[in-house]
Chain A
Amino acid sequence: MNESKITLRNVEMRFGDVVALDSTDLEVVEGQTTVLIGPSGCGKSTILRLIIGLLTPTSGVIEFEGKPVSQDNILALRRRMGYVIQDGGLFPHLTAAQNVTLMAKHLQTVQEEELQEKLDDLCELTRFPKDGLTRYAVELSGGQRQRVSLMRALTLDPDVLLLDEPLGALDPMVRASLQTELKEIFNRLGKTVILVTHDMAEAGYIGDSIVLMRAGRIAQQGTLDDLRERPADEFVSEFITAQRSLVQL
């Protein structure tokens, strides 16, 4: 259980003069939920986009199960990772069901009946109403869109789930109930999960390991207790305090 699924070694990402991610090392442990948190522009989404290959690092190496990620294997690796973004990223010209099954149908590896079963299972898992499968993205609520997006990410039964602020656009009530559901789903599936958020409570509730980032660097990595009791520097304690006082309001 303690094997490293994804490893970043001296990974740096620059856009011209702007450093999005300074030379960074990170290990994502298999079967754990790792949460990336930090203020806007700290580089937490950049890490996800580097792992799924939407960005190519300026320098350094990203390893997946010990093998370097490259242009040659990224297509195969993407099919072993599910990616969920804020607002779902559902294709508007397809129904919910078509969004979910798009990739499986494209690969033609799954039989039609098997796919139907899979769809039923996923609806159950994500508590998405089956009669909503024929609807288009615009006809779904924000929470439903995220459920469909999660279903789409899970269709090929990936090893890794990458979620970029999946609950960021939802109102607080929906958000709270989805947090609970997400945690249950992660526990049940036992997949390696990397989740980006800016909400410390969410990070502490869902994450096995929390990576707090600031200005393209990792400020501290550990459990919520580690960060709270043994902050690495002033920024860490300030970040935790700010989030806590926000909750107390």
Chain B
Amino acid sequence: MQKQQKVNGKQQNISRFTFDASRITFYTLFVLLFIYALPSADCQTISVGSKRFTESYVLGEIAKKLLEDAGYQVEFKQGMGGTIIVWEALQNGDIAMYPDYTGTIQETILKSVTPMTTEQMRAALAKHGIGITGELGFNNTYAFAMRRAHSESENIHKISDLRDHPNLNAGFTHEFLERNDGWAPLSRHYGLQIKPRGMEHALAYVALNEGEIDLMDAYSTDAKLVEYDLTVLEDNLDFFPKYNAVFLYRLDINPAAIDAIRTLEGAIDEGLMTRLNAEAERTKNFAAAVSLYFSEAESREVQVASESFLSKLVRWTGRHLMLVGVSMVIAIVVSIPLGIRASRPGILSQIIIGVPGVMQTVPSLALLAILVPVPTLGTSPATAIVALFLYSLLPIVRNTAAGLQNIPTPLRESAAALGLEPSAQLTKVYLPMASRTILAGVKTSAIINVGTATLAALIGAGGLGEPIISGLALNDAEVILQGAIPAALLAILVQVGFDALDRLIIPKGLRIEEVSQRAAAGE
């Protein structure tokens, strides 16, 4: 190990989190930051990103190991939700590098309809301040997979054979369905009539294995092709472009870091990559695949320390609490005044309640895709906080408005007739009387927030969603539960905590009132 090696020269601190949007909650943040110990204070820190599938995790882990050996502190933002999000993160400096494929770069990032050479890509990417390594040595192209027995019984071996089977059940990833080089042009190219549906990739394998679907898109180095004994259909009309693996990196990072990554050029062929993927999925541990890589590459056993479960759990939970805490504090500070305004009649009130209602209908991945390109947000935790904040508004705004509207008219008039100014009527009478309903809204919001905060992992912002997403990539229920169970416990804890808070915040008179009303109702 060469941990002590110092790298001189300009080094951008690309992983510093920006919380401009949440300055008002500085103190909360300050406390919470202690919980999860900000890891990027060191200027030698470099961020590596990965997408949400096994191979991307494995390549990211290998890069992390190479950079650590070169003397860097590495922050690994794993499992980011899709090409657009990772690309944005790279461009705005949230990550310094991530692995991708030439086909994806050409079609999705550079949006070129004509095939490009590596040199053409290098020139086009340089305009964005992004560099590209040489090819790593394997082509992970799209492929169509079927159960072996099924393909033999139906005599389907080439993609063109699918023309005669328009009624096959096909489950394709959403990305494949939408891509410029995806399903739509392929079905025209081959003249296929199949009606596919969108499906999460890891789930599609299970569905295919159990016969719920007959055809799925896969990657040619997927370990599961072997695991589930699947046949890959031949791309006999040469539709799919080459998907040669490369690393994309920011041109402004230290050349030594680039050199470290470029040692991967030509180092991994399809056979090795498939074995690495299989090793990761077999051991449910990406670090094991990294060990395998270095032992095969260097013909010696290398131990890659994998983080203990407890330390991971503390890291996930701490980040999760930070995301929930900060977004909730901002949501409360913003929602209660909005709710107060919305308690008055008028069109503005309907808008105030309507807009957060519409927010609820935006799927989380879509919301993130909208927020990530926003300057200063990117793939930082601030983006996740903004998303969580937006999802938390409705219950608080709505309950605040309803709580105030439900105050009986005689009591409103009594407050006014006493000679209290409108502001004092609000603070001394209306808000305390509505406290139970408002607190119920905050409680609902917080519990939903704990669940929704798992979406942060889609942009590499961590939290308990991290094991859930990598578990989905590994098709491993145990890893999913490592995130799902603590998240559920956290939600229960929030519930219990708020029940205790009821006693502190809701005035005693209102609690007695409720008890006496229950007694009167004969409960």
A interface vs B, CB < 8 Å?
49, 52-54, 75-76, 78-79, 81, 83, 85-87, 89-95, 102-103, 106, 136-139, 152, 156
Establish whether residues B419 and A54, one from each chain, have CB atoms under 8 Å apart when the complex forms.
Answer: no
Query: Nearest Cβ in chain B — how far from A249, in angstroms?
Result: 31
A151 nearest CB across to chain B (Å): 13
Closest to A162 in B: B417
Contact partner of A136 among B411, B415, B433, B512, CB < 8 A?
B512
Please give me the 7 A-B residue pairs with the lowest Cβ-Cβ distance, nearest first. Answer: A89-B414, A78-B419, A93-B507, A136-B509, A79-B419, A83-B417, A93-B432
Q: A89-B413, A91-B429, A93-B433 are in contact. Are A103 and B418 (CB under 8 A)?
A: yes
Question: Would you call B510 an interface residue if the criterion is a C-beta within 8 Å of the partner chain's C-beta atoms?
Answer: yes
Tell whether, in the assembled complex, residue A92 and residue B418 are in contact, meaning their CB atoms are under 8 Å apart: no
Given contacts A91-B433, A137-B509, A138-B509, contact A85 B413 (CB under 8 A): yes
Contact partner, A106, options B411, B416, B424, Cβ 8 Å: B424
* CA of A220 to CA of B294, assembled, Å: 106
Chain A residues in 8 Å Cβ range of B346: none
CB-contacts of B26-41 with A (<8 A): none
Which of B410, B416, B435, B512 is A138 in contact with, Cβ under 8 Å?
Answer: B512
Inter-chain contacts of B414 with A (CB < 8 A): 83, 85, 89-91
> Nearest chain-A residue to B507 (Cβ)?
A93
List chain B residues, Cβ under 8 A from A91.
411, 414-415, 429, 432-433, 509
Whole-angstrom CA separation of A75 from B424 in the bound complex: 12
Q: Which chain B residues lie closer than 8 Å to A78 at the CB level? A: 416-419
Do A94 and B513 touch across chains, with their CB atoms under 8 A apart? Answer: no
For the complex, is B303 an interface residue (Cβ under 8 Å from A)?
A: no
Cα A49 to Cα B414 with chains together (Å):
11
Contact (Cβ within 8 A) A138 B420: no
Given contacts A89-B413, A91-B429, A106-B424, contact A136 B508 (CB under 8 A): yes
* A79, A81, A90, A103 — most chain B CB neighbours (10 Å): A103
The reply to whether A92 and B419 form a contact with Cβ atoms under 8 Å apart is no
A-B contact pairs, 16 of them (CB 8 A): A54-B413, A75-B419, A79-B418, A87-B410, A91-B415, A92-B411, A93-B507, A94-B509, A102-B428, A103-B420, A136-B512, A137-B509, A138-B509, A138-B512, A138-B516, A139-B512
Residues of B within 8 A of A92 (CB): 411, 433, 509-510, 513
Contacts of B420 in A (CB 8 A): 102-103, 106
Q: In angstroms, how far is the closest chain A Cβ from the Cβ of B233?
A: 71
Which residue of chain B has its CB nearest to the CB of A55?
A: B413
| Chain A min CB distance to B74 (Å) | 55
Contact present for B510 and A93 (CB under 8 Å):
yes
> Which residues of B sit under 8 angstroms from A93, Cβ to Cβ?
429, 432-433, 435, 507, 509-510
Supposing A136-B513, A138-B512 touch, asked if A94 and B507 sit within 8 A by C-beta, the answer is yes
B430 to chain A, nearest CB (A): 10
Tell me the complex Cα distance, A52–B417, Å: 6
